[in-house]
Amino acid sequence: MVGGGSSQANEGSDLESVVKQAQAYRKTYDGWRAVRQLDCARCHGADYRGSVGPSLIESVQTRSRSDFTRFVLDGSPERGMPPYKSVARMVDNIDGVYAYFRGLADGTIPAGQLTAPE
């Protein structure tokens, strides 16, 4: 019976890891949906690498998470970026939006449509 508890502990931590990954993916998926529904590509380009508005991929690479969040929610009307702090879909999903763009930036999320979590 030596080591029996260790195997159960590993199974528990493996399950916990899977659950955390699923939760992170759900958050990212919801962020992606918000970006699509709010049509960020209209200004930031189909691949979010810039058009009329700057690259959101570069933005998450050069700004802190809090700066990115503040910029999206407060906007920059003088630069043509509307504030989204009164848009519940963006406010509720801002962490997932950031995670989605970070994933695109670091290559852990491929460009294109995400698959809905099961």
CA 72, CA 80: separation in Å to the nearest integer? 12
pLDDT digits (tens, 9 = 90+) for 56-73: 999 999 999 999 999 999
Residue 32 lies in a domain: yes
In a domain, 97, yes or no: yes
Please give the DSSP secondary-structure letter assigned to residue 36. H
66 inside domain: yes
Task: Tell me if 75 is assigned to some domain.
Answer: yes
CATH of the domain at 61: 1.10.760.10
In a domain, residue 112? The reply is no
This prediction's pTM: 0.84
Helices (H) and strands (E) in the chain, counts: 5, 0
Residue 12's pLDDT band, with cuts at 50, 70 and 90, is low
Looking at the structure of the chain, the number of domains it has is 1
Which residues form the domain of 91?
Answer: 16-106
- CA distances to 8, 86, 89 from 37, in Å: 43, 15, 9
The SS3 of residue 81 is strand
Q: Considering the chain, what is the average pLDDT of its residues?
A: 90
